[in-house]
Every structure is written in C-alpha cells, then in structure tokens.
C-alpha cells in the first residue's frame, strides 16, 4: 500500500503550523475575472499558470482529461456558469495542449485494460445493453485544434451563457508553455 496519504498528512500539519499558506492568501473571486478550462496533464500543473502570469487568486481553473466540454449540461459547463454568475468571471479560456493523451484515444484499449484489471465482461455488456454509449464515452479526439474549437462553440452558444462573456480557444506546448491562439473571442 502506498504511504502517500500519510506523507501528505504529515507534510500538511507542518505546512499549516509554519504558516506556509501566507503567500497564497486571497479571495474566491478571481482577480482577473477569468475562468480557464484546461487538461489535467501533470506537465501543466505549474507551467500553465506561470506561462500566463496567473497567480493564486487570479483565475478559476477547471480541469479534465482533454480540456473538453463533452456535454452542454455536464459538470464542466456548470462550473463555467458558476464562475460567471457566482464569481464574476467575464472571460473564458479553453486551453488544449500538444501531445495530449486524449488525442487519438479510443474506447477499445481502455475496455481491454478494464477487463485485465478485473472488471467483468458481464458488467460491460450490461452497460451497453442499458443504452450507455461506452465507446463514445471513452473516445478522445483526433485534432486538438478542432476539439478546442468545438468546446469554445459549445460554451459560446450555451443558452445560459450571457452575451458579455468572451470565449477564447488556445493550445499550449507542454514543454515550453508557448500558447497558440485558435479562437480569439474578441473578434
Ligand atoms: Zn491532455
């Protein structure tokens, strides 16, 4: 068993006692009135905010695999709407990245791994028979630019998004942090 949890809890006690949180004190309202949707890729954890000059308190950051809005009424879109209506965000940045694990991802290899890990074929069949499109659910995208454009479109045309919110689309290089503009929401 991993000792990660114990390590984290020990570290955390010292962090709080030593008041190491002090440089991070801020409010929940994003200073730069922006919300970022990006990928959960580990290379972006610090690189993405640093490369954009985003500090603690500057932006709401929503993450998932691939920076995707897969469903207009799913939890990602809800988070964006909460950032807009509850937290004064006025600008949305969808930021995909080069070399994303979701590029060219298909359901079949994941299902195979699930079977190897002990998930029964019966369960997978039951999902399929209950009308769940498991192949679509576990599908990535072919082009990160197209995917970013689609997510920008879904957000921009969402019936609950107010007109004043601008939605940009970008792609980041996970090595250099270089941003490439795909959709300029101001135009
Ligand atoms: Zn990714």
pLDDT digit string (tens) for 32-54?
Answer: 999 999 999 999 999 999 999 99
10 Å Cβ neighbour count for 136?
9
Q: What's the gap in Å between 97 CA and the centre of ligand 1?
A: 6
Mean pLDDT (the chain, rounded): 95
Q: What's the gap in Å between 112 CA and the centre of ligand 1?
A: 21
Q: What's the gap in Å between 68 CA and the centre of ligand 1?
A: 10
**Residue 185 and residue 152 in contact, taking contact as beta carbons nearer than 8 Å:** yes
Q: What's the gap in Å between 61 CA and the centre of ligand 1?
A: 15
Banded model confidence at residue 1, pLDDT cuts 50, 70, 90: low
> What are the structure tokens assigned to 85, written together?
């209506």
The pLDDT, as a whole number, for residue 2 is: 76
């Amino acid at each position: 068993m991993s000792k990660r949890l114990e390590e984290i809890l020990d570290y955390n006690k010292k962090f709080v006692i030593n008041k190491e949180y002090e440089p991070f004190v801020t409010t929940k309202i994003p200073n730069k009135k922006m919300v970022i949707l990006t990928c959960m890729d580990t290379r972006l954890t610090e690189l993405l905010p640093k490369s954009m000059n985003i500090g603690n308190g500057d932006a709401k950051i929503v993450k998932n695999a691939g920076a995707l809005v897969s469903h207009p009424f799913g939890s990602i879109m809800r988070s964006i709407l909460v950032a807009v209506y509850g937290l004064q965000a006025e600008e949305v940045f969808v930021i995909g990245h080069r070399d994303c694990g979701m590029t060219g991802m298909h359901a079949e290899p994941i299902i195979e791994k699930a079977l190897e890990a002990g998930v029964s074929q019966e369960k997978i069949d039951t999902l399929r028979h209950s009308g769940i499109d498991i192949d679509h659910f576990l599908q990535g995208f072919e082009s990160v630019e197209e995917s970013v454009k689609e997510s920008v479109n879904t957000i921009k045309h969402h019936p609950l998004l107010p007109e004043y919110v601008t939605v940009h689309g970008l792609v980041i290089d996970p090595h250099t942090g270089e941003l490439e503009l795909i959709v300029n929401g101001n135009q």
